[in-house]
Chains A and B, each alone.
Chain A
Amino acid sequence: MKKFLSVILALTLATTLFACGQKQASSTTADANAAASEATTFKVGGIGPTTGGAAVYGQAVKNAIQIAVDEINANGGYNGYQVEYRFADDEHDAEKSVNAYNSLKDWGMQLLIGTTTSSPCISVADKTYADNMFQITPSGSAVDCTANPNVFRMCFSDPDQGAASAQYIDSHNLAKKVGIIYDASDVYSTGIYEKFIQESAGKSYEVVADEQFTADSKTDFTTQLTKLKAANADLVFLPFYYSEAALVLNQAKQMGYAPTFFGCDGMDGILTLENFDKSLAEGLMLLTPFSADATDDLTVNFVKEYQKRHGEVPNQFAADAYDCAYALKLAIEKANVTPANSVSDICNGVKSAMTSITQKGLTGDSISWKSNGEPNKTPKAVVIKDGAYVLAN
């Protein structure tokens, strides 16, 4: 009995250590440049988790790029060349992401839209930098994702969201006492949290409590909520994803605690949760660059097409990914590169063109980029009223 259990424990420990310490030095140096020299199509790759716990994000990105690529091909492609598109699964795992990148490179990928999630993105960004391949991530929001000059992003970085949230709460006098719950095991959540705390100094509100949870105990939030309630927080900032937020809202209601809840772009999607009791989200505010209920033509057409193909309302990841495919179009045409150019030449051309284009996309009316890869766009604050998003003033 004892022996058996200690074997299991040892095994568990060993797996954990192995998983942590693994540093693979995989380098398939198959040179894609040679294959590209006589190509007549642009080969665009995408990477993201289409299976595993984060599959919802990867699938959204994969589907949305496909929609954009189909539209672009129907209208003449990138700079007159058709676009071939292939998506690889990374299961939200840094090692697998690098493998996915290598197999896409073997296929002849010239430009990468990806990766979808932050930690794999950081690993892949080092590979694309070594190969000098242009990379734009739709949703890798951690600061380090765009540390290399060849990597741009479509979404806001985590600190930008934290700062924008703090400014919004302050300038609209939403609260006197702010409480925070964040996921201490997640770069996205802690990135927003840290900047939010920094920005909160000298604002019209006071941060009265900050509580954490981790990926392994993200079902029970009653302890954290009890503490926030005891601290009389009248606004609770929730910088994490909607599936956990739905639990927080539910448990707060059961406790009879009703502050204003305020979220970031990860909160987007809460209304599309199947079977979700929308009254729980009444009054919830969030800062997001995309709202599926917007009435401009671009959004309406995209949402319609996405629903037709996949039977669900696209989330923000899908919108960011769709915009990425069009940003590449603008930059490629601006730089006037062709598939015959080498991967490195395409990268240099597109990289410098990125800072001089302005895109009208789903996630912003005029998106432009700084040379450090960060986008310039305005977040919209929306509030949930009667089970639908309404623009907050």
Chain B
Amino acid sequence: MDFLTYFVNGLSLGSIYAIIALGYTMVYGIAKMLNFAHGDVLMIGSYITFVFMSQMGINPIISVLLAAIACTLIGITIERIAYKPLRGANSLSVLITAIGVSYFLQNIALLIFGANTKSFKSIVTIPPLKLFNGQLMISSESIVTIALCIVIMLALTTFINKTKMGQAMLAVSEDRSASTLMGINVNGTIAMTFAIGSFLAAFAGVLLCSAYPTLTPTTGAMPGIKAFVAAVIGGIGSIPGAFIGGLILGVLENLSKAYISAQLSDAIVFSVLIIMLLVKPAGILGKSNIEKV
């Protein structure tokens, strides 16, 4: 029974990693860059929801939608100001810029919202699911998160495969210069990718803060890094891979906490990443590209 409890708790944690990882993988898959500021965009999204919902008393659903729109705009702005000028630069410069953006967002949040922890009211109000006479409990937040992950996965897959914009994204991810030759607006497509990624970040942020209801300017930082690891384990660039990677990471983290050591759990999680990179560098569902020299 204990094992099952730990396992389910791991799934709950993993579902949060999964929903963050979806945004990471989406941007990486298409723009081929690691948006390390993703975790911080979701933190901003949570603060915006918090302001609308708790301080202005607006309906939670509307607050989340407003926050998602705001995050989309923030994502587009970040892309335009920080990443677009570096389009031709090597990936290391872009990565370092992303780290800079991450610190920038954290400190902006510190300036605007202050350092004090805010307590976030869960937007999910349905009662938790109880199994085996209440011995096993699945929190409503994790059910909603997993459901939303699946919806997002289906929506993204359909969008990419069935729409013109989606096809353009695929083309850009395959070969940027060839897409330009074929008349695809590469900058527009990449901006669109960021818009979608940031839109998703707002939802991830709200669900993260609903499940773990404290909000500080560094809320998004560590979950962001763990979600990145999840995306890599699942195969970065692969949408279902992000979901699977997230769940695996959450379960692994909780089981190692329960049966090995709470202090070692992060070390174990990151060693899995290293082993993964050695054994199957492309991740569980990733495609391995052979680089021609």
Contact = CB atoms under 8 A, between A and B. Distances in A.
Q: Are A and B subunits of one complex? A: yes
Given A212-B262, A223-B9, A277-B119, A217 B214 contact: no
Interface stretch (B179-187, B195-203, B216-224): B216-224
Nearest to B269: A217
A51 B110 contact: yes
B13 to A, nearest CB: 5
A2 B139 CA distance: 37
A107 interface: no
B282 A1 contact: yes
A227 interface: yes
B110 A226 contact: no
Interface in A233-288: 242-244, 246-247, 250, 254-256, 272-277
Interface string B134-168: 10010100000000000000000000000000000
Given A223-B262, A273-B117, A273-B119, A254 B137 contact: yes
B54 A275 contact: yes
A275 B118 contact: yes
23 contacts: A1-B281, A2-B282, A5-B232, A51-B110, A53-B216, A56-B114, A56-B115, A184-B262, A213-B262, A217-B222, A220-B9, A223-B257, A223-B258, A226-B5, A250-B213, A272-B116, A273-B116, A273-B117, A273-B119, A273-B214, A274-B54, A274-B118, A275-B50
A59 B117 contact: no
A7 B92 contact: yes
Contacts of B213: 246-247, 250
Q: Which of A7, A56, A184, A272 has the most CB of B within 10 A?
A: A56
Given A220-B212, A223-B254, 10 more contacts: A2-B282, A9-B277, A53-B216, A56-B116, A214-B263, A216-B222, A220-B13, A226-B258, A243-B216, A272-B116
A222 B288 CA distance: 37
B34 interface: yes
B6 interface: yes
A7 to B, nearest CB: 7
Contact of B265 (A52, A217, A243): A217
Given A219-B223, A223-B6, A243 B263 contact: no
A254 B128 contact: yes
Interface residues of A, number: 48
Nearest to B286: A1
A230 interface: yes
Interface string A116-152: 0000000000000000000000000000000000000
B91 interface: yes
A201 interface: no
B192 to A, nearest CB: 23
Interface in A47-72: 51-56, 59
A273 B265 CA distance: 29
Contacts of B128: 254
Contacts of B253: 217, 220
B254 A275 contact: no
B2 interface: yes
Interface string B4-28: 0110010011000000000000000
Contacts of A93: none
Contact of A214 (B54, B110, B217, B262): B262
Contact of B281 (A2, A220, A312): A2
Given A220-B254, A226-B6, A254-B139, A4 B117 contact: no
B281 A243 contact: no
Interface in A180-211: 184-185, 211
B107 interface: yes
Contacts of A275: 50, 54, 118-121
A184 B264 CA distance: 11
A75 interface: no
B24 to A, nearest CB: 13
A312 B117 CA distance: 13
A256 B134 contact: yes
A348 to B, nearest CB: 37
A217 B137 contact: no
A96 to B, nearest CB: 14
Contact of A6 (B34, B110, B261, B277): B277
Given A214-B263, A226-B5, A274 B214 contact: no
B212 A219 contact: yes
B92 to A, nearest CB: 7
B95 interface: yes
A108 B286 CA distance: 60
Interface in B95-144: 95, 107, 110, 114-121, 128, 134, 137, 139
Given A223-B254, A246-B213, A211 B262 contact: yes
B275 interface: no
B178 interface: no
B267 to A, nearest CB: 10
A1 B288 contact: yes
A329 B91 CA distance: 57
A181 B137 CA distance: 22
B274 interface: yes
A4 B90 CA distance: 11
Contacts of B274: 9
A243 B217 CA distance: 13
Contacts of B212: 219-220, 247
A8 interface: yes
B208 to A, nearest CB: 8
Nearest to B250: A220
